[in-house]
C-alpha cells in the first residue's frame, strides 16, 4: 500500500520498507499532493484488507495511543527516551499451549524482558487477534478479537479526546488531549514493582494504603499470596503478609524523612527512601541519587522484598528482606529479642522463659514472662534497651513530651513500656514528636544496633537493683554458676546464725511489739509507707492512686500560673490531664502545721462520702515527702470570693444565696445523720465551701474532721482546731 504513490518523492525506499516491516510500531508515509490518485487506490485496499475484522483500528506511533488508535500483540509503544516499552508479552518459561497474553511495561533496551507493571494480570488475553486501545469512552482497554473488553481503566466521565502516554519514568498516563488533568496513571495501581517516582500513601487513621502484590510464580503474573502494605492495625509500619497472616514486619517509622542504601560497586550512587508526613497520612517514595542509575524494588513471588540496581547490563541485588532468620515475624515469642549474630533468642531484662525446657531445646516460640508482676502504685521503673527493632502491638500518640509519654504509660497496669522520638530533632523539616506505648504483649523484637531505637521497658522496682539471676537462652551464665557456688555456703551459715539470734531475742521483743500495737497511730509506722498505711485501692475504690509524674505533668511542674490559692494544708493548683479533664491539685506545704493525720483524714473520709454537696475526691498521690490530693475542679472557686468581694457579691441575689444555704445545710445533714459514718467537719467556713459552674455549693477540706459512732453524743479533743 505504501508503494502506490504517483510522486517519486512520496515512494518509500526499500530500506525504509524493510525497517517498517521489522519494527513493532506502525507508521504511514504522507503525500505532498492532496489530490494524489494513490490515495484512491490506498483506501479501497485498506478496507479490503481489514473487511473481515469487526473493528477498525489504527496503529499508534511513538510513545502514545491517541483516541481510536491501538496496538496488536506484536506491537509496542516506547517512551520518548527509549527507556520503557508498553505492549503484549507472554512470560518466559510459561505454558506455550495456553498462549496467554498480558499487557505490560518493561525496560526497553535491556537483555531479556524485565516487566515492571501488568495491566490484565487477573484476566489474560487468550485471543491473538486482541488489541490495546483507547476506546470511545476515553478509557485504556484490552479488547479481544470480537471487540469485547478483557480489561479497562474503567473511569467514568472521561473526555472523549483522551490519549495514553508512556513516560520515561515507566508511568502510563491517561490524560486529556487538550492539556487538562490526568484522569488515570499506572503509578497509582501498583503490581509487584515499586519504581522511582511512585508513591505509597498511608492513611494514619483508617490504615488504608497502596500495596505491592507478588506474582503467583516466576512465569505467572497473576496475583500471588504475598502483599507488601502498611499494617492496617498500626499504619506506621509496613508488613509483608502471606495471605492474611503477617510474614515479616519492617521497622516502625522512626520519624526520619530520609533513608539511604549504598550500591555494590557504586558507592556514590545510593537509592534514597523519602517519607513525608501530612496531617493524617504518610507518603513514601524512592529516588535514585543520580539519573544515570536504574533501580527498582520488587516483591518477588517467594515473598522477598528486594532492591535491584542496574550495574552494566545486569541487575544486582542490593538488599533483600527477609534475609536472616530474625526477620521472620515473632520468632522468639512475647518479651524476647532475636539475636541475629547467634540465631537465638534472649528474654528482656526482668523476664524469664515461659518454658525453660523448650528454650534449652531451641524452641523459643513460647516467649518470656515477668519474674515479678508490676506494682502499679507509682514505684515501677523503666529500663532502657537500646538498638531495638520496636515490637509490634503499639498505640501511637503525637506531640507529647518524653515525660508525658512515660506518664501515659504509667497511668494503668496494662502498659508494658514506651518509645519516644523527637521528630523536630531529625532532618527533613518534620515537627512534633511520636510516642508509642504497648498495652499488651511485646512481640517481634530484634536487636539491630545500627538502625534500632531505644525501648523503655516497665519493670518492678526491685528488678533494677541488679540482684536477680538472669536466665538467658535456657541456661545460667557461667559467672552466675560460680557465684552460686560461693554464695550458697555463706547463706546457709548466715541463716543458722540468724535462727539462733531470733530464739534468744523473741521474748525481749514481745513486750515492745505489744506496746507498739497499743499505740495510737499519728504518723505512719516505722518502715511502713503512707501508701501501705492508707490501704490498697480495693479498700478505696472511689479514690485513685496517681503516679507523681502524671500529677507533675498535669500542673506543668506546679507552675505558679496554675495556682488557684493557698490554705492551711498548702497551695492548690489547677491541673489538666492528657484526656482534657480539669482537676484541682492540693499539695501539702512543707511549712504547713497539718500533716499525715490530716492527709489520712481527707483520703479515708471523702473517698467514702458521696453527696451532691460534698466535693468529690478523684485521687491521691504520695512521693517521698510529697502528699497530694486531687479533687474535681470547681470553676467558681470558693464562696468567700463572692461574699467578701463588693463587686462579685452583687452576683448573689437572694435566690442564689438561699440555694447555697440550703445546699450547705443538706451537706451537713448528710454528714451528721445520713452518711455511712457520722462526721463532724470542725472547720466549716466560706473558704471551704466551693462553687461549681452552676453555683452549687460543695463542702471541702476534711483534714480536721472527726468521726463519731452513731450513738455517740460527745467527744473530748486534745488540741484546739478549726477557725
| Residues with catalytic function | 683
Give the sign of the dihedral formed by CA 276, CA 278, CA 282, CA 285.
Answer: negative
Q: Name residues whose C-beta falls within 8 Å of residue 36's C-beta, 6 or more positions apart in sequence.
A: 5, 6, 7, 10
448: which 3 cell numbers?
539491630
168: which 3 cell numbers?
520515561
Backbone angles phi, psi at 76, to 5 degrees: -140, 165
Backbone angles phi, psi at 481, to 5 degrees: -60, -45
User: How buried is residue 59: exposed, middle or buried, by Cβ count under 10 Å (0-12/13-18/19+)?
Assistant: middle
104/287 Cα distance (integer angstroms): 22
- 626's enclosing H/E stretch is strand 626-632
87: which 3 cell numbers?
505492549
**In terms of DSSP H, where are the helices of 319-361?**
356-360
DSSP state at residue 356: H
Tell me the three state secondary structure of residue 435. strand
331/443 Cα distance (integer angstroms): 9
Q: Select from 554, 545, 550 the least CA-distant residue to 574.
A: 554
Question: How far is the CA of 686 from the CAs of 160, 630, 641, in angstroms?
Answer: 81, 20, 9
Question: Are the beta carbons of 87 and 107 closer than 8 angstroms?
Answer: no
Q: Select from 121, 120, 160, 159 the least CA-distant residue to 143.
A: 120
177/520 Cα distance (integer angstroms): 94
SS3 percent helix, strand, coil of the chain, rounded to 5, is 20, 35, 45
- Residue showing cell 486531687: 630
Per DSSP, the residues of 40-81 read HHHHHHHHHHTTTSSS--EE--TTEEETTEEEETT-EEE-TT
66/633 Cα distance (integer angstroms): 70
213/192 Cα distance (integer angstroms): 5
- Residue showing cell 509487584: 192
579/412 Cα distance (integer angstroms): 14
Q: Select from 138, 243, 252, 148 the least CA-distant residue to 202.
A: 252
Give the sign of the dihedral formed by CA 472, CA 353, CA 350, CA 397.
Answer: positive
Numbers of helices and strands, H then E, in the chain: 11, 45
Question: Are the beta carbons of 699 and 684 closer than 8 angstroms?
Answer: yes
294/299 Cα distance (integer angstroms): 17
537: which 3 cell numbers?
485501692
Amino acid at each position: 500500500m505504501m508503494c502506490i504513490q504517483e510522486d517519486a518523492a512520496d515512494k518509500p525506499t526499500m530500506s525504509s520498507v524493510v525497517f517498517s516491516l521489522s519494527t513493532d510500531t506502525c507508521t504511514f508515509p504522507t503525500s505532498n499532493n492532496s489530490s494524489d490518485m494513490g490515495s484512491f487506490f490506498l483506501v479501497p485496499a485498506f478496507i479490503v484488507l481489514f473487511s473481515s475484522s469487526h473493528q477498525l483500528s489504527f496503529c499508534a506511533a511513538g510513545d502514545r495511543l491517541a483516541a481510536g488508535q491501538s496496538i496488536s500483540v506484536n506491537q509496542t509503544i516506547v517512551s520518548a527516551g527509549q527507556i520503557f516499552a508498553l505492549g503484549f508479552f507472554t512470560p518466559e518459561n510459561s505454558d506455550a499451549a495456553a498462549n496467554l497474553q498480558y499487557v505490560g511495561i518493561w525496560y526497553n533496551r535491556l537483555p531479556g524482558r524485565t516487566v515492571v507493571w501488568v495491566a490484565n494480570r487477573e484476566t489474560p488475553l487468550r485471543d491473538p487477534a486482541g488489541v490495546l486501545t483507547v476506546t470511545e469512552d476515553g478509557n485504556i482497554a484490552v479488547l479481544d478479537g470480537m471487540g469485547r473488553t478483557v480489561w479497562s481503566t474503567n473511569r467514568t466521565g472521561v473526555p472523549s479526546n483522551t490519549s495514553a502516554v508512556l513516560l520515561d519514568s515507566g508511568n502510563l498516563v491517561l490524560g486529556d488531549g487538550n492539556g487538562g488533568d490526568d484522569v488515570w496513571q499506572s503509578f497509582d495501581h501498583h503490581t509487584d514493582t515499586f519504581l522511582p517516582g511512585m508513591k505509597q500513601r498511608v492513611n494514619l487513621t483508617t490504615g488504608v494504603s497502596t500495596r505491592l502484590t507478588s506474582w503467583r510464580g516466576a512465569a505467572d503474573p497473576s496475583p500471588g499470596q504475598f502483599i507488601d502494605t502498611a499494617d492496617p492495625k498500626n499504619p506506621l509500619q509496613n508488613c509483608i503478609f502471606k495471605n492474611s497472616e503477617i510474614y515479616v514486619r519492617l521497622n516502625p517509622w522512626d520519624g526520619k524523612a530520609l533513608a539511604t542504601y549504598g550500591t555494590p560497586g557504586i558507592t556514590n550512587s545510593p537509592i534514597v527512601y523519602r517519607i513525608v508526613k501530612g496531617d493524617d497520612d504518610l507518603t513514601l517514595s524512592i529516588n535514585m541519587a543520580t539519573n544515570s542509575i536504574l533501580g527498582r524494588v520488587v516483591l518477588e513471588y517467594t515473598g522477598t522484598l528486594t532492591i535491584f540496581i542496574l550495574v552494566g547490563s545486569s541487575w544486582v541485588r542490593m538488599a533483600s528482606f527477609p534475609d536472616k532468620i530474625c526477620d521472620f515475624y515473632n520468632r522468639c515469642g512475647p518479651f524476647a529479642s532475636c539475636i541475629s549474630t547467634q540465631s537465638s533468642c534472649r528474654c528482656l531484662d526482668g523476664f524469664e522463659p515461659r518454658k525453660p525446657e523448650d528454650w534449652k531445646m531451641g524452641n523459643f516460640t513460647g516467649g518470656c514472662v515477668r519474674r515479678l508482676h508490676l506494682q502499679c502504685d507509682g514505684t515501677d521503673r523503666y529500663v532502657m534497651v537500646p538498638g531495638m527493632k520496636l515490637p509490634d502491638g503499639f498505640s501511637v500518640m503525637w506531640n507529647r513530651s518524653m515525660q508525658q509519654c512515660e506518664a501515659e504509660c504509667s497511668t494503668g497496669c496494662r502498659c508494658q513500656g514506651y518509645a519516644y522520638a523527637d521528630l523536630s530533632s531529625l532532618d527533613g523539616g518534620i515537627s512534633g514528636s511520636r510516642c508509642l506505648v504497648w498495652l499488651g504483649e511485646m512481640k517481634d523484637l530484634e536487636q539491630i544496633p545500627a538502625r534500632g531505637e531505644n525501648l523503655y521497658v516497665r519493670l518492678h522496682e526491685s528488678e533494677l537493683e541488679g540482684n536477680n539471676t538472669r536466665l538467658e537462652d535456657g541456661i545460667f551464665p557461667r559467672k552466675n554458676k560460680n557465684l552460686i557456688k560461693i554464695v550458697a555456703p555463706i547463706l546457709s551459715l548466715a541463716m543458722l546464725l540468724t535462727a539462733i539470734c531470733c530464739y534468744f531475742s523473741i521474748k525481749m521483743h514481745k513486750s515492745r511489739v505489744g506496746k507498739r500495737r497499743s499505740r495510737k497511730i499519728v504518723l505512719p509506722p516505722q518502715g511502713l509507707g503512707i501508701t501501705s498505711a492508707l490501704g490498697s485501692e480495693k479498700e478505696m475504690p472511689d479514690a485513685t492512686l496517681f503516679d507523681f509524674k502524671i500529677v507533675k505533668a498535669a500542673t506543668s511542674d506546679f507552675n505558679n500560673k496554675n495556682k488557684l490559692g493557698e490554705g492551711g494544708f498548702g497551695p492548690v493548683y489547677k491541673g489538666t490531664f492528657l484526656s482534657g479533664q480539669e482537676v484541682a491539685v492540693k499539695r501539702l506545704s512543707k511549712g504547713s502545721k497539718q500533716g499525715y493525720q490530716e492527709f489520712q483524714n481527707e483520703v479515708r473520709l471523702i473517698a467514702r462520702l458521696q453527696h451532691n454537696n460534698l466535693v468529690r475526691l478523684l485521687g491521691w498521690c504520695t512521693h517521698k515527702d510529697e502528699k497530694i490530693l486531687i479533687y474535681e475542679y470547681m470553676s467558681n472557686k470558693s464562696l468567700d470570693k463572692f461574699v467578701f468581694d463588693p463587686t462579685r457579691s452583687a452576683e448573689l441575689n437572694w435566690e442564689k444565696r438561699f440555694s447555697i444555704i440550703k445546699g450547705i445545710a443538706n451537706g451537713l445533714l448528710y454528714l451528721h445523720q445520713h452518711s455511712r459514718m457520722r462526721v463532724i467537719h470542725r472547720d466549716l467556713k466560706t473558704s471551704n465551701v466551693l462553687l461549681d459552674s452552676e453555683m452549687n455549693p460543695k463542702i471541702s477540706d476534711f483534714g480536721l474532721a472527726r468521726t463519731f459512732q452513731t450513738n455517740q453524743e460527745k467527744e473530748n479533743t486534745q488540741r484546739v482546731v478549726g477557725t
